[in-house]
Structure 1
Amino acid sequence: MTTKSTPGRKQAPAADNTGTEAAARVADVLLLFAGGPQYLGVSAISRELGLSKAVVYRILQSLVSREMLATDPGVSGYRLGPAAAALGASALRRFDARIVATPILRRLRDETGETTTLSGLVGDERVYLDQFESPREIKMTVEVGRRFPLYAGSSGKVILAFLPEERREVVLHRPLTPLTDRTITDEAGLRAALAEIGREGVAVSLGERQAGAGSVAAPLYGPDGEVHGSISICGPQYRFTPEAIERYRDLIRTASQEIRDNWTWLRAGES
């Protein structure tokens, strides 16, 4: 049988498609470890990604051989290995936003006495990239590298509020699973909250993502004018009084603009 090709369109070899699909599967497996529990087994990965156990097992063994994943004696499942940790550390060192944000977030930590954080946008979620811990005995800390939804908490909502409309709509049309009893889970309520954030340029959360935690966040804009993440001031909710929140609003706005200006200057200097 003769296969006819569409005029003017170059057909990719089947092997290319197969290679692309295989690479995507490997990436999907690694991303599960980035956002999920510390240990994952073959069955759990198979269910989550809809792949056969045989395929998952082959991928895992390949990643273990390259130290991207590892196993521990007496523990069922796989965890991220030293090569993955080295890759992540290298990425953070080379991330422009982290370079320019670090001194500003340290200063913000010293000015407020609370923990300050940097989050990056990853797909339709966010991940903590760095934190500068409060010197206080009672403080809030975050799990760097863990992924969170955009609809819960100030760091996520402020990103969601300033995403392009088509990307925002994708998130809003998904089920909104509550993380605490204060998480906004109805679409209309979340849309109203995002509209207010759009007007104010700042998001506030009191126990929405983590019970007992308060935070104020601002978007992290890149030189391209797009939102790439967020910065926040966070701590125990009882310290986030109306007076403190109002002060933090002004501080986080100024810090956000300063990071944007410095990032733009850094990129201009590299070109």
Structure 2
Amino acid sequence: MTISTAREDSVPVQRQGSAQPAKSGSLAARAYVVQQALAQLPGDVHALRDIARLAKLPEATTHRILQDGVDKHIFEQVGRGMYRLGTGTARAGVQAMNRLPGATGTHTYLVRLHQATGGLALLYVLSAFGGAKRLCTDYEIGGMDPAEVGMTAEDVVSVSRSLRTGASGRAILAYLPQDARDQVLAEEVPPTAGPGVIRDNQQLTDSLLVIRERGYAIGRQECMAGWDSVAAPVFWRSQVMGSVLLLKPTSTMPEDLRPLIHHTLRAAKDISDLTATPVSAVL
């Protein structure tokens, strides 16, 4: 396969599945389908009829499941016949993620990426609190002083958090549901973003399609002037959880990016594989 060094880039398309009718006739099996339907519908609040249609269940059955879930905080009723996922669902997700391998396991792969490329290796994770953002949770920069990267405190909480700026942000954004992507596209570009940031929403959307086709993203001075990057998404099974970023000064970025892409993809895959490993096997 020929790897392009064009600005936009990703692995085979990871498609969001649609809710499937429960094979079992049990109410419990149908409840899982209703929960999946709520997670897959665009937007926040959904009508009973839309949930039932996607779940391929009778409205009466769907209503009974939703009402049972409201009592357990799995669902919330926010109006007549209108529902959304509740805090119980979020709590279950947090508990599940808490059982994934932590920084001790991931840091090894960032060190290897740094040593193989000479670049800064960073791990970003997706944060849904207050809208889809990314947060840097681990990095390996060798003996470099973080101040040498040139980012101010304001940049850390603006440019480096936005999913619409930088290869690491777009590598996550490409695999989010459409409603989450629409929310990010509605955000303003951080004023201190680099000169290469993609400001046009259609161009940004087109870049996400290329990322999903190739499995990686390339950034040209998107977050900061004078710094280019390669990023690859990190998955928990089929769900994007973050991205690995390789950052290098523009002056040292080689014309042939294939070795950098290879090492970045490898680090992202190794970290993704960790999420499929039982915690007991990692400790």
Check the 8 A contact 1:133/1:140 in 2, yes or no: no
Q: Is the Cα–Cα contact under 8 Å of residues 150 and 157 in structure 1 kept in the other structure? A: yes
Identity among equivalent positions (%) equals 25
The 5 A counterparts of 1:180-219 are 180-219=194-233
1:96 paired with 2:101, answer: yes
Rg larger in 1 or in 2?
Answer: 1
Counterparts of 1:163 and 1:133, CA distance in 2: 28
Say which of 110, 129, 132 aligns to 2:137. 129
Structure 1: gaps (5+ residues): 1-7, 13-92
Structure with higher helix content:
1
CA deviation after TM superposition for structure 1 residue 249, in Å: 0.7
Aligned-partner SS, 1:231 = strand
Alpha-carbon distance in 1 for matches of 2:230, 2:164: 15
Secondary structure at the aligned position of 2:268 is classed as: helix
CA contact (8 A) 1:177 1:185 kept: no
| Larger RCO (alpha carbons 8 Å, 6+ apart) | 2
Q: Distance in 1 between matches of 2:99 and 2:107?
A: 13
Q: Distance in 1 between matches of 2:187 and 2:180?
A: 12
Letter in 2 for 1:132: E
| Number of residue pairs matched by the alignment | 184
SS at structure 2 position matched to 1:128: strand
Matches within 5 A, 1:106-121: 106-121=111-126
Distance (Å, rounded) in 2 between the aligned partners of 1:99 and 1:130 = 10
Aligned to 1:248: 260
RMSD over equivalenced CA pairs, Å: 3.4
Give the structure 1 partner of residue 162 of structure 2. 149
Q: TM-score, normalised by structure 2?
A: 0.56
Secondary structure at the residue paired with 1:264? coil
**TM-score, normalised to structure 1's length?**
0.59
What letter corresponds to residue 268 of structure 2 in structure 1? S
* CA offset digits 1:248-267 (Å, max 9, x no partner): 11111111111111221134
Runs of 5+ unmatched residues, structure 2: 1-63, 72-97
Paired AA for residue 233 in structure 1 = L
Alpha carbons of structure 1 residues 181 and 168: separation in structure 2 relative to 1, 3 Å: same
Give the letter for the 1:114 counterpart: G
- Provide closer, same or farther for how the CA distance between residues 219 and 199 of structure 1 changes in structure 2, counting only shifts above 3 A: same
Please give the secondary structure, in 2, of the residue aligned with 1:102: helix
The 3 A distance-change label for structure 1 pair 173 and 132 is same
Q: Can you list the C-alpha shifts for 1:206-243, whole angstroms capped at 9, x where unaligned? A: 111111111111111114x2111111111211111222
Instruction: Tell me if the contact between 2:220 and 2:227 (Cα under 8 Å) persists in the aligned partners.
Output: yes
